[in-house]
Amino acid sequence: MSADLQRMLVYGANGYTGALIAEEAVRRGLAPVLAGRNRGEVEALAQRLGLRSRVFGLDDAGAAARGLDDVDVLLNCAGPFSRTAAPLLDACLERRVHYLDITGEIDVFAHCHRADARARERGIVVAPGVGFDVVPTDGVAALLKRALPDANALVLAFEAGGGTSPGTAKTSVEGLARGGRARVGGELVDVPLAWKTRTFVREGVERSATTIPWGDLYTAYVSTGIPDIEVYLAMPPRAIRSLRRLRLLRPLLRFAPLRAWLEARAGARPGPDAERRATTQCWIWGEARNAAGAVERMQLVTPNGYALTVTCALDIAAQVIARAPAGGYRTPSQLMGAGYVLGVPGVRVAASSFDLSATG
């Protein structure tokens, strides 16, 4: 997929994932504008890659809007997105700039969805979650819904190899303070951390997993309308037990200074290096059921989550520029088609209980 992305701005380009996206854009012969709040880091990256740069913060709404001059698409890579999505989305709505980000945060998806009417009026696409959070799982959800149209329960799960970026680590601390969540009867409900456990089979070996408050609890419902949704993360039983013990400490995580300290420590760890990204994979499971007990299942294997994010974010930005879809909120499968993820390089179907020959 190709398009002129010189009118795309990558905000948070100096962060771990933003820099990977900028580097891949250059390899594709593209020239996005790089932006962020840290002048030294943003300008150094732009100079190294031969790209233009802009420096602006998000405390001043006027400055954020002016930062989008002559831009058609914004790709927000600056997490935690609970702090950056709202001001950047407001700037996009003011300047009629399409808004994309790579969040996995439920509340950010909800905030963006509430802007649907304004986005339609302004003629801009609002599409959060155009990376590993949540492109492959959203595609699986949409394909399962197509295979079982009357499904009333959906389970998604994943196992991600390779470690986390500083931004993802900081977001995880914030998520622990919020607690667990699930979709029950069409409503998002609060549940305890590590609320449920179950196993999934990977290459003939059972993998233990527990529920987590993942973005698909919002996006999969928008994409499919399935009322009961749970999302699981595969992890060792010992880690699940530790997560359950954190229930007792959760009230302390609401104390802002402690949370800030934990986020700083989490963010100090470097993300996976190039070798680790190239040699690790992610596994994704999906399972849909209807009231009569019929079940459809599928498994995907994908490249490392950060590698997948780079590919998907640039693909989706190119799609938005090239095809200029009607304005409004979109999930990845709504914007790109349910079968888009199956064509992403390095993605393969490990198992499926239904025919995948007619996907789109």
pLDDT digits 0-9 by tens, 43-72 = 999 999 999 999 999 999 999 999 999 999
Domain identity same for 198 and 218: yes
In a domain, 358, yes or no: no
Q: Contact at 8 Å (CB) between 181 and 214?
A: no
Q: Which of the 8 DSSP states describes residue 135?
A: H
Q: What does each C-alpha distance from 32 to 5, 44, 94, 197, 310 come to in angstroms?
A: 6, 15, 21, 43, 14
Alpha helix locations (H) across 148-228? 166-178, 216-224
- Residue 144, classed as helix, strand or coil, is helix
What's the whole-number mean pLDDT along residues 77-86? 94
Q: Residue 79: is its pLDDT beyond 50? A: yes
> How far, in Å, CA of 359 to CA of 44, rounded?
43
- Residue 270, classed as helix, strand or coil, is coil
Q: Which residue has the tokens 């380009």?
A: 13
Number of domains comprising the chain: 2
Identify the residue with better confidence: 270 or 140: 140
Digit-coded pLDDT (tens) for 222-280: 999 999 999 999 999 998 888 888 777 766 666 666 556 555 555 556 678 889 889 99
> How far, in Å, CA of 283 to CA of 298, rounded?
11
Q: Residue 77: is its pLDDT beyond 60? A: yes
What's the whole-number mean pLDDT along residues 171-193? 82
In a domain, 114, yes or no: yes
Q: Residue 338: is its pLDDT beyond 80? A: yes
In a domain, 36, yes or no: yes
pLDDT at 315: 96
Domain identity same for 286 and 144: yes
pLDDT at 255: 61
Angle (nearest 5°) at CA 91 between 50 and 117: 130
Beta-sheet pairing, 228-234 with 8-11: unpaired
Provide the pLDDT confidence category of residue 325 given band limits of 50, 70 and 90.
confident
Domain identity same for 150 and 241: yes
Kindly report whether the global pTM for this prediction surpasses the value 0.75: yes
Domain that holds residue 237: 135-304+341-352
Domain identity same for 347 and 218: yes
In a domain, 174, yes or no: yes
Strand partners, 231: 156
Strand partners, 75: 10, 100
Domain identity same for 143 and 198: yes
> How far, in Å, CA of 210 to CA of 250, rounded?
17
pLDDT at 356: 86
Q: Residue 304: is its pLDDT beyond 70? A: yes
pLDDT at 3: 47
Provide the pLDDT confidence category of residue 23 given band limits of 50, 70 and 90.
very high
CATH number of the domain at 218, please.
3.30.360.10
Q: Residue 288: is its pLDDT beyond 60? A: yes
What's the whole-number mean pLDDT along residues 167-171? 50
Q: Contact at 8 Å (CB) between 328 and 35?
A: no
What's the whole-number mean pLDDT along residues 344-348? 97
Domain identity same for 285 and 328: no
Domain identity same for 157 and 300: yes
Question: What's the number of CA atoms in the CB half-sphere (13 Å) around residue 358?
Answer: 2
Domain identity same for 202 and 347: yes
In a domain, 165, yes or no: yes
Domain identity same for 204 and 298: yes
In a domain, 359, yes or no: no
In a domain, 190, yes or no: yes
Domain identity same for 241 and 313: no
Domain identity same for 143 and 263: yes
Domain identity same for 44 and 99: yes
Provide the pLDDT confidence category of residue 358 given band limits of 50, 70 and 90.
low
Q: Contact at 8 Å (CB) between 334 and 220?
A: no
CATH number of the domain at 62, please.
3.40.50.720
Beta strands across the sheet bearing 8-11: 53-55, 33-36, 8-11, 73-76, 98-101, 125-127, 328-329
pLDDT at 268: 52
